[in-house]
Structure 1
Amino acid sequence: MPGSPVTLGVRVHFEIFTQNRDEALLSTKPSVIQALIQGLTTRNGTTEAIEVLEACKGAQITFSRKTYTWLVSAAIQSGDPKAALGVFKDCQQAGYEPQLKVQCQLISALAKADRPYGQHLAQTAYDLWEKLFFSGHILDAAAYRAGMQACTASGRLGQARGLLDAMSAAGYPPDARAYNIILKGCSMGGTAGMDLVPAILASMQAAGVERSSVTYNTLVDAYVRAGRLGEAKQDGDLAGAHALLNQMKRLGVPCNVVTYTTLLDGYVKAGDLSGARLLWLDMRQSGVPPNAATFNTLLTGLAASPDPESLKDVFDLYGQMEVYKVRPTVDTYNTLLRACMRHGETKQAMTIFKRLRTSRRGPDVITYTTLINGFSDAGRPAAAVRAFEEMQADPNVKPDVACINSMVDALQRLGDMAAAESYLPEAARLAQEQGQPPPIEAYGAVIEGYAKQQDADAALAVLKAFFLLGGEADSRMYDIVVDVCVRTHKFQRALQVVKTMEQQGRTIDKERIKQRLEQMFSRQGRVRRQGRAAHRQHLAANENLERLKFWLGLENSYYG
């Protein structure tokens, strides 16, 4: 329990270790360090335990398989599958074969990981499953279910269905949990996945497996996902999901908070707040108590409304959390912040922020990113920068890609291009850690900033760096670069960019380029009186300008 003498002793031991790390690694017995790691993991100190493990790796200190196993499980339970994967690899490098149970736990955790790491870790989950499947281990039912999760998460729904047969052949008849995993995979597979749902349900019925409340919740989620992804008609999907809700009621299957919250999410994502309000009323009349996720879902929908009156609705709903004795989460406060910022209520937003700072959890990176974006959109980039600096002073929060992108945008709005560009390497590094290319948001913001300052060379240099890191520009980024090149009379560079756009099949805004040329020649016309002949001779000699005009479909004498 936090604050207990045992916990305090472990924490003190950890502080002594970190303050005198080199000496501790030389003088402390591995068994003592091992006890420290296990003590930390049992007292919500998984991050610190991994820090100790990393220090020991540098000193070539290894531990027992039990310690590695303990730490893998602790990292999974703390919701950090990426850290669990790192310890799992350390276990293998130490010469130990992780237990089957631990391998299955890790595969499941990686398969269920949320973004931004989800897509990358899902493939890792499948790779681990494939190795396990061909390793010669005798697989149990839990292993097959872990394999199904890895297959569905990585987009291999066909293989996941095949594991149902393999599981049965191995003497483990698939249960509702196994079928629910397959149905979850269908929900993630768009229209093609949804088309398989009837066959899966028929197979489930033929096997004598009864649908559980989780099955119905999964089906509701499947309809909601299909509607949210735009891969089927939203109205039809929401109607189908609501029909499932009514079917559950008729069959006496409990409609719990997960069922209602999932369907509420569908209405909110579809932009149907009226439907969401009716379902919210149905939920309360049915006696199903809402939880924080329920409130957060509804708050998200209300906060996105452009109606000025919606802010009052947001805070009215927030007030009901106290009535239902539901503790607000960080997501709750972040949604309130977004609503306030959206309607220009920055003072009210700061009141919410101060309340969050004094709460048990405190702000997270999304909190600060919301403030940064809100102040920038309100025309107060200096305040946005101060919010970022305050986040840097918070030891519990580290910036992510989205936060860095927002900071770069705030700095370019301030005109501090040197500072804005200095954050690009960090943005690229964070994106790379997620298996993503350099963020177009950060690089695009810097290019836009240089374009405002009519610094074509700097904008082109950033574009080149973006390409070298594997970035792929969109039409807007190209348009900005072409525009600044035309405005600064760098016609050859403009031609190079538009040819690249053509090769990539990008849409080119020729009318905008024509307008820029018209503006340029209009300005030039005002100085012709001072040297008309020399001016016309200069333009005629500008071969790149004439080529650009030709590419635009303009006669060479168009501006003559």
Structure 2
Amino acid sequence: MLCCARYSLQLLQPHPSFPGGATCSCSCSSPSSSASGNQRQRLHPPSAVSPTTSRSTPPLTHPPDGDHPDEDGGSDDALLALLRAHDTDAAYRLFSSKPSLLPSSPTTASRLLSQLSFSSSSPDAFSRVARLLQSLRARGALDLLDDNSLSLAAAAAARSRDARLAHSLLLYMLRQGFLPDRRAYTAAVARLTPPTKALRLFDAVLRHLRRAPPELISPSCLPDTAAFNAALSACADAGDCRRFRQLFDAMSEWSAAADALTYNVVIKMCARAGRKGLVARVLERMLSSGLVPCATTFHSLVAAFVGFGDIPTAERIVQAMREERKDICLLLRAVAMECDDVPDVEQGAALLDDIVAVAKPGQGTDELPLLPKAYPPNARVYTTLMKGYMNTGRVDDVVAVLRAMRREAETVPASRPDHVTYTTVISALVAAGDMARARAVLDEMAAAGVPANRVTYNVLLKGYCQQLQIGKARELFEEMVTDAGIQPGVVTYNTLMDGCVLTDDSAGALAFFNEMRSRGIAPSTVSYTTLMKAFALSGQPKVAHKVFEEMERDPRVAVDRAAWNMLVEGYCRLGLVETAKQVVERMKERGVQPDVATYGSLAKGVAAARKPGEALVLWNEVQERCLEEADEELLGALADVCVRAAFFKKALEIVACMEEKGIAPNKTKYRKMYIEMHSRMFTSKHASQARQDRRRERKRAAEAFKFWLGLPNSYYGSEWRVEPLLEGDDPS
């Protein structure tokens, strides 16, 4: 029984837009050879499919094979003639002009999909593939497609960065008893997120291959080293050492030999598991196995030590590469010896030791393998070292590396800074708040003939917005669009809108939002929530609510918790607690549970509305739902309300919770509040006995709170008393 059968074919529906992809990477000689129209035999007949893996489309009423013209005038004959002439564009135009006249024979349908998939090298081209699939699905005619055409479509979807559609197609193939081509599932596994989803797909393919009769398995379906490398990389991304070891051992079962890229992934897995000593031994293991490292190997090593925060080792590796040394294993063995005495290793991470097993450190250095050639650092290696400097705030070192790269580029072209390098330098300077130097690097980039891209400009725009220099951000935006000819994206507009929020310019945020839509750029969830924030912070919660309602109507985005919280905050800022509570109830009805941010906004609203009773109810709910996640902002707001309302018992509970979490309450603020608001609360000499009895507990709580503040109180001797003790009152 297939564990993947729970997935539906709803993912085959086309999306509003599809990103472009690369040209076909398969080895077929021509589109026609990839679309033979001959289906391979299914692994089992339709009647043998279990209920959980049953067909999702009804049986076809026409014969399963042959090139019979349909009853609508032989549109299949016309389509097939165009396809055989390799005029795929004309064939698609014919299909588009009469979408009701779908291909009705397996040969025509499969060939049309194959040739469209083969030529899908642009967003428009791939959208044609998606439209054909959707049309066939709507008519219940997906059974017309053979395994070759479906594999080509899945590969095209993965190349076009629509891994979700590729995933759906591959699962459909498995449910129908087809074995997908390894290039299709390799591309999907390499691009699917989260990595656990990619691993489930790879596991499903391996299960089907193991269960299939050998005579029905085409060699092109068997996983090769590239397929395993993609799956191992997903394991590394997921941090799953056990599954990594299982897949590494399974490579021999499928005659997939580990190569240099496999060990590059091993470096990533060891780094993810925190095994610095193993990372230092991978290069030695590769050379001992007769494998030749590649440039990515050294980039992976530098990236691993940067990830560990071990910048000195990363520097030594880069310096050794600059000196064209071939004994880098000697340097790494010293690092491995330093890490050999790690006492406790997680059980799963210990499974990696055998993969990297080499001769024990301490043997003669003459036995260490040498590199077959020198590997001077390229731009990618230098840029990774820069990121390490940036993470530790060493901005001057980032700039120094850039200068060194430009000097070395004259003799080592691979070290020439590229747009990623310059963007990293700009990001470091922006993080340091040095916008003048960041802008100067952009100009230097242009002078060096390295074109900036949208990401580079977005980083600079964000820097100007964070420093509230919205005027300079607008000037840079105009330069980006007009002079550089770079079209802004949704991230660009979100950044500018956020800058308007920071400068309390809700009108500017709305103008950017409308301009974005006028350019045909679809707003994202962040776009809507940022615009809501602009109106909420400017005291216009009703306008923010209108934006929220428009967001709900937009099928391209999902209303997330951040949007609900922004709505709650907008009402709470004006003290409209009841309206905010109604929003929270509606939020719960939609299946979205409040979080710390929700309760923090409510706490501020309670304070603004001067409703201390609501604070007590809110504190009880926080204790039940999210006390572990409660932060300083939420607890501080609740404590302030309780102190102002003289709810000292609850105030003590809250500040005790803060201290347990390592949050230091502001005692200076609370001392001032107590003296100004409550120092005479028990000084009445004419209170009735009944009233004195009622306030007995409040007085004890007040004395305890004063004790916590360090003010004179009844818990220790003092010349100053708030009032004489009542008869029978125990000061302790």
Q: Give the 3-state SS of the residue equivalent to 2:375 in structure 1.
A: coil
Are 1:123 and 2:239 matched, yes or no?
yes
Mapping 1:345-360, distance limit 5 Å: 345-360=505-520
Aligned-residue offset at 1:41: 5.8
Counterparts in 2 of 1:38 and 1:410: CA distance versus 1, 3 Å: farther
Are 1:420 and 2:584 matched, yes or no?
yes
Counterparts in 2 of 1:268 and 1:532: CA distance versus 1, 3 Å: farther
Aligned pair partner of 1:206 in 317, 320, 325: 325
Equivalence for 1:319: 478
Equivalence for 1:186: 305
Q: Give the 3-state SS of the residue equivalent to 1:206 in structure 2.
A: coil
Are 1:388 and 2:539 matched, yes or no?
no
Q: Distance in 1 between matches of 2:605 and 2:546?
A: 19
Equivalence for 2:464: 302
Q: Distance in 2 between matches of 1:33 and 1:391?
A: 40
- Aligned partner letter, 2:583: A
Equivalence for 2:570: 410
Are 1:101 and 2:209 matched, yes or no?
no
Q: Give the 3-state SS of the residue equivalent to 1:66 in structure 2.
A: coil
Counterparts in 2 of 1:15 and 1:30: CA distance versus 1, 3 Å: closer
Equivalence for 1:548: 705
Are 1:293 and 2:455 matched, yes or no?
yes
Aligned-residue offset at 1:263: 0.7
Aligned-residue offset at 1:274: 1.5
Counterparts in 2 of 1:424 and 1:441: CA distance versus 1, 3 Å: farther
Cα pair 1:30 1:61 within 8 Å, conserved: no
Q: Distance in 2 between matches of 1:408 and 1:93?
A: 49
Range moving further from structure 2, 362-371 or 251-260: 251-260
Aligned pair partner of 1:559 in 717, 722, 731: 722
Equivalence for 1:474: 631
Equivalence for 2:175: 61
Aligned-residue offset at 1:559: 3.2
Q: Distance in 1 between matches of 2:206 and 2:686?
A: 79
- Aligned partner letter, 2:596: I
Mapping 1:321-400, distance limit 5 Å: 321=480, 322-400=482-560
Cα pair 1:71 1:84 within 8 Å, conserved: no
Equivalence for 2:120: none
Counterparts in 2 of 1:344 and 1:553: CA distance versus 1, 3 Å: closer
Q: Give the 3-state SS of the residue equivalent to 2:300 in structure 1.
A: helix
Aligned pair partner of 2:618 in 450, 456, 459: 459
Cα pair 1:337 1:352 within 8 Å, conserved: yes
Q: Distance in 2 between matches of 1:242 and 1:320?
A: 25
Aligned-residue offset at 1:361: 4.2
Aligned-residue offset at 1:162: 2.2
Mapping 1:247-266, distance limit 5 Å: 247-249=407-409, 251=411, 253=413, 254-266=416-428
Counterparts in 2 of 1:123 and 1:16: CA distance versus 1, 3 Å: same
Q: Distance in 1 between matches of 2:188 and 2:693?
A: 76
Q: Distance in 2 between matches of 1:223 and 1:377?
A: 37
Range moving further from structure 2, 28-37 or 414-423: 28-37
- Aligned partner letter, 1:214: R
Based on CA coordinates, which of the two structures has the bigger radius of gyration?
2
Cα pair 2:228 2:251 within 8 Å, conserved: no
Q: Distance in 2 between matches of 1:386 and 1:319?
A: 30
Aligned-residue offset at 1:312: 2.5
- Aligned partner letter, 1:288: V
Aligned-residue offset at 1:217: 2.4
- Aligned partner letter, 1:223: Y
Q: Distance in 2 between matches of 1:427 and 1:509?
A: 36
Mapping 1:134-173, distance limit 5 Å: 134-135=249-250, 137=252, 138-153=257-272, 155-173=274-292
- Aligned partner letter, 2:239: Q
Cα pair 1:521 1:559 within 8 Å, conserved: no
Q: Distance in 2 between matches of 1:508 and 1:350?
A: 39
- Aligned partner letter, 2:710: G
- Aligned partner letter, 1:475: E
TM-score normalised by the chain length of structure 1: 0.79
Are 1:219 and 2:381 matched, yes or no?
no
Q: Distance in 1 between matches of 2:165 and 2:129?
A: 14
Q: Distance in 2 between matches of 1:110 and 1:387?
A: 41
Aligned-residue offset at 1:37: 7.9
Cα pair 1:224 1:241 within 8 Å, conserved: no
Are 1:483 and 2:483 matched, yes or no?
no
C-alpha deviations, 1:65-90, integer Å up to 9, x for none?
Answer: 42687356236447765653453354
RMSD, aligned α-carbons: 3.8
Q: Give the 3-state SS of the residue equivalent to 1:217 in structure 2.
A: helix
Cα pair 1:450 1:459 within 8 Å, conserved: no
Counterparts in 2 of 1:373 and 1:276: CA distance versus 1, 3 Å: same
C-alpha deviations, 1:473-501, integer Å up to 9, x for none?
Answer: 23333222333334445443333333333
Are 1:502 and 2:663 matched, yes or no?
no
Mapping 1:33-72, distance limit 5 Å: 39=153, 42-43=156-157, 46-48=163-165, 50=167, 61=175, 63-66=177-180, 70-71=184-185
Range moving further from structure 2, 92-101 or 295-304: 92-101
Mapping 1:269-284, distance limit 5 Å: 269-284=431-446
- Aligned partner letter, 2:382: Y
Cα pair 1:167 1:174 within 8 Å, conserved: yes
TM-score normalised by the chain length of structure 2: 0.62
C-alpha deviations, 1:511-560, integer Å up to 9, x for none?
Answer: 3333444455368579x588476555543443333333333333137532
Counterparts in 2 of 1:235 and 1:424: CA distance versus 1, 3 Å: farther
Equivalence for 1:11: 131
Q: Distance in 1 between matches of 2:146 and 2:570?
A: 49
Q: Distance in 1 between matches of 2:225 and 2:598?
A: 43
Cα pair 2:615 2:642 within 8 Å, conserved: yes
Aligned-residue offset at 1:29: 4.7
Q: Give the 3-state SS of the residue equivalent to 2:175 in structure 1.
A: coil
Equivalence for 1:116: none
Cα pair 2:419 2:453 within 8 Å, conserved: yes
Q: Distance in 2 between matches of 1:70 and 1:151?
A: 28
Cα pair 1:188 1:225 within 8 Å, conserved: no
Range moving further from structure 2, 529-538 or 258-267: 529-538
Equivalence for 1:492: 649
Aligned-residue offset at 1:272: 0.7
Q: Distance in 2 between matches of 1:558 and 1:160?
A: 68
Ranked by relative contact order (alpha carbons within 8 Å, sequence separation 6 or more), the top structure is: 2
Q: Distance in 1 between matches of 2:506 and 2:459?
A: 23
Aligned-residue offset at 1:388: 2.6
C-alpha deviations, 1:121-140, integer Å up to 9, x for none?
Answer: 4424x554333334463322
Q: Give the 3-state SS of the residue equivalent to 2:706 in structure 1.
A: helix
Counterparts in 2 of 1:10 and 1:198: CA distance versus 1, 3 Å: closer
Q: Give the 3-state SS of the residue equivalent to 1:171 in structure 2.
A: coil
Range moving further from structure 2, 84-93 or 394-403: 84-93
Query: Unpaired segments of 5 or more residues in structure 2?
Result: 1-17, 21-88, 96-111, 113-126, 211-221, 327-373, 715-719, 724-732
Aligned-residue offset at 1:268: 0.6
Q: Distance in 2 between matches of 1:237 and 1:388?
A: 46
Equivalence for 1:434: none
How many residues are paired up? Answer: 519
Q: Give the 3-state SS of the residue equivalent to 2:198 in structure 1.
A: helix
Range moving further from structure 2, 399-408 or 145-154: 399-408
